[in-house]
Structure 1
């Protein structure tokens, strides 16, 4: 769920602090007040989960000094300054230093609420991006995102750990929606370059001239970033849709790779997403570049090959969406579990994410079925199932595992509650948990 935003109100006048706090509290904000900048600085550290509203004129440390301290601690913290009549030049200077905006006394409360809404929105985006960057640089955390106990996923994780420690360039291929970019992040996060730059460029998103400039430069004086080759120096450069790289730029990329020597100063991870029938990345690239990039290779498995991982993923995703939308996750019947396992999943994990979100929304409205969602995605397919049949025993076991897993998760590992709900004796439940690799410790709150 979205992180609750706070608003720190800093003003030496008690009446002003209280009136601002009461108004913003009525608007739904969580406020905390401070009578001085010195007092506030004891609380307002990096990654403070909110914004600051501060008076400019205060005894001791004034608002400008306070603002400079805050910008030195966290330059992305939104600070709204309150100025008296005639202090507009000072407010303009505050904006130059880094203030988000300013309010001139006497101010309109609705204007303050509007500024608070914009500032908290900006702060939430900053904190979410920081959290994502930390997560994507943490090898143990990102590997947890590669959910699944199927043999193909076990092999994928092993390949990532092995190739992550190597230093050669890597080609990642696989169907659309399988999570190739996540695998690229994981390769970077588990290797020796984890603390270095991770730069991602889509070769299909830019016209040839713009792509050449983004990859190799030269950049114009007004540009705020380096060419990707320079920006990623010492780290990892990920080239999505490598098969869309024009021939002229293929030659330039090959030249850069050859100049780097061995071991490569910058590791290149190329991602291939070819969808045309009968086409491969090898067909799209000049041979010498292809073999340099494909020195190491990972193929991400399609969802339809991952067996009961489909149910595990669907459960996790529906739990996340139900929390986001403030409703219960849909309960999956045995028939629906079989339909999820049988679906061909041409859109792979990306399609499953979409189905899980729509299933939660349907459940909240009290209408619709998972089968109808699958059919709406593939109206031309009657019925929606793979061409590869599976023994009934596999469907039954996959559903049984999902049911025990969901019930254990819902009861936070309470064996007695699970036994009662599923009408199972303890010995039978223990045997089934051991059979499916489920451990009570994983569910304890």
Structure 2
């Protein structure tokens, strides 16, 4: 083993603990022993870098209760249970609860080593996958970092991208206009095994049927230019506006996908833009092509469902435009924050970017309000209420988070200055920053 995997040995009998520890240490493991489940729980937490070997019958917390506690902390932690003679029904129950395997006393030491090595390999794979997911979700890919937002729907979106990005199948992306479907397609490619290969983007709505057939399948007849399916070989081909692809070409595309087999050498990511028109991609595509693509489907959440992400994004865009135009970003009042949160945002992120830019230009001139910009973009009767109504508490918390965030930015992380401006005692400010996931180091 490149690095010794830990084994936590839990048994109330000292001789048994020592004998198991000595044997596994000779097999290359780093062992630590505990006389009780209670003692072990002080050390064994989520992401424990090893496996657990535990007796079932122990005073105090027995092995079954211990196993259930461990599974509630980390359901992927391998736990090997040691049972007495005749306790096989209990061992079967332990397997149902989540144990990796069990050994019946008296057990063969070689069998113990074999099981522990299998458990260690499974644990190493789990920890490696978790480390990869953390790296990617923290922005290791560069592109996924652009998917800003702390709302539950955005957390789920990033998880879906990480899951599907590392799979082999074709993907269908849908969602309302302006939600960032093309960015998600880039992210899927960036976090997957094809990240270093070709990424080809093509709009099916920009060409007539004859041109589409040539561009996708060939022959092109223009020197060295290749058909898109050949150009993207081994990488990712993103077909925007897949709903505009004629039925005859949908059939050819499906035949080509079937010929590729599994895993697909070239991945198709299809983007559908029908949702905002009251139709769905299923209405526009052949059923066989739709179900082939929709086996892996991502639906991008509309902006109105993203809660306080709206304020976070508005502030981010406003600061970017303020830097560009050489002026200060506009201050957002509590009333304006509520209006931003309540607006229906039919144009989603694209519309929010536009409103942020115009708000900066208005502030530079010293006139205009955010409400007037929203009214210009939306019917006035729709502006103050959306179908995604939220409790007052959510509006208040979103504004409070934005206010603390803005003040921390302005004072570059000076807690004293922020306390003074917001009239907050230090403990209250610390509690609110912890509540909203704000860290001083991000502002210094």
| TM-score for the superposition, normalised by structure 2 | 0.67
The residue that corresponds to 2:279 in the other structure is 279
Q: Give, in angstroms, the shift of residue 439 of structure 1.
A: 0.9
Aligned match of 1:40: none
1:73-112 aligned at under 5 Å gives the runs none
Query: How far did 1:390 drift?
Result: 2.2
Q: Is structure 2 residue 426 aligned with structure 1 residue 411?
A: no
Superposed CA RMSD in Å reads: 1.4
**Matched ranges for 1:105-254 at <5 A:** 139-222=140-223, 225-254=225-254
Aligned-residue offset at 1:426: 1.2
Aligned mates of 1:382, 1:299 — CA distance in 2: 24
Structure 2 residue 358 is matched with structure 1 residue 373: no
Query: Per-residue deviation at 1:387?
Result: 3.5
Cα deviation for residue 276 of structure 1 reads 6.2
Q: Given that residues 139 and 186 in structure 1 are in contact (C-alpha distance below 8 angstroms), is that contact kept between their aligned partners in structure 2?
A: no
CA distance in 2, matches of 1:146, 1:155: 11
- Report the secondary structure of 1:243's partner residue: helix
State the shift of 1:155 in Å.
0.4
For the residues of structure 1 that align with 2:264 and 2:388, how far apart are their CA atoms? 43
- The structure having more radius of gyration, on CA atoms, is 2
Contact 1:139 / 1:189 at 8 angstroms: preserved in 2?
A: no
Residue in 2 that maps onto 1:266? 266
How far 1:383 sits from its partner (Å)?
A: 4.5
* Cα distance in 2 between the residues matched to 1:382 and 1:165: 41
Q: TM-score, normalised by structure 1?
A: 0.67
Task: Please report how far the alpha carbon of residue 275 of structure 1 lies from its aligned counterpart in structure 2 after TM superposition.
Answer: 4.3
Ranges in structure 1 where 5+ consecutive residues have no aligned partner? 1-137
CA shift, 1:414, in A, is: 1.7
Shift of 1:140: 2.9
Write out aligned runs for 1:313-328 (5 A): 313-328=313-328
> Paired residue for 2:357?
357
CA distance in 1, matches of 2:375, 2:278: 27
Distance 1:345 1:403 in 2: 22
Q: Aligned residue for 1:30?
A: none
Q: Which runs of 5+ in 2 are unaligned?
A: 1-138
- In the other structure, the counterpart of 2:59 is none
Separation of aligned partners in 2, 1:388 and 1:307 = 9
CA-CA distance at 1:225 after TM superposition: 3.2
- Cα distance in 1 for partners of 2:331, 2:315 equals 9
The residue number in structure 1 matching 2:332 is 332
Deviation at 1:428, TM superposition (A): 1.1
CA contact (8 A) 2:175 2:275 kept: no
Structure 1 residues 281 and 383, CA, compared in 2 at 3 Å: closer, same or farther? closer
Find the counterpart in structure 2 of residue 312 from structure 1. Answer: 312
| Contact 1:215–1:228 (Cα < 8 Å) also in 2 | yes
How far the C-alpha of 1:259 sits from its partner, in A, is: 1.1
Secondary structure of the 1:204 match is: helix
Counterpart in 2 of 1:19?
A: none
Distance 1:141 1:423 in 2: 38
Summarize the alignment of residues 39-78 of structure 1 with structure 2, pairs less than 5 Å apart.
none
CA distance in 1, matches of 2:214, 2:405: 51
- Give the structure 1 partner of residue 427 of structure 2: 427
- Give the Å deviation of 1:384: 3.4
Q: How many residues align?
A: 306
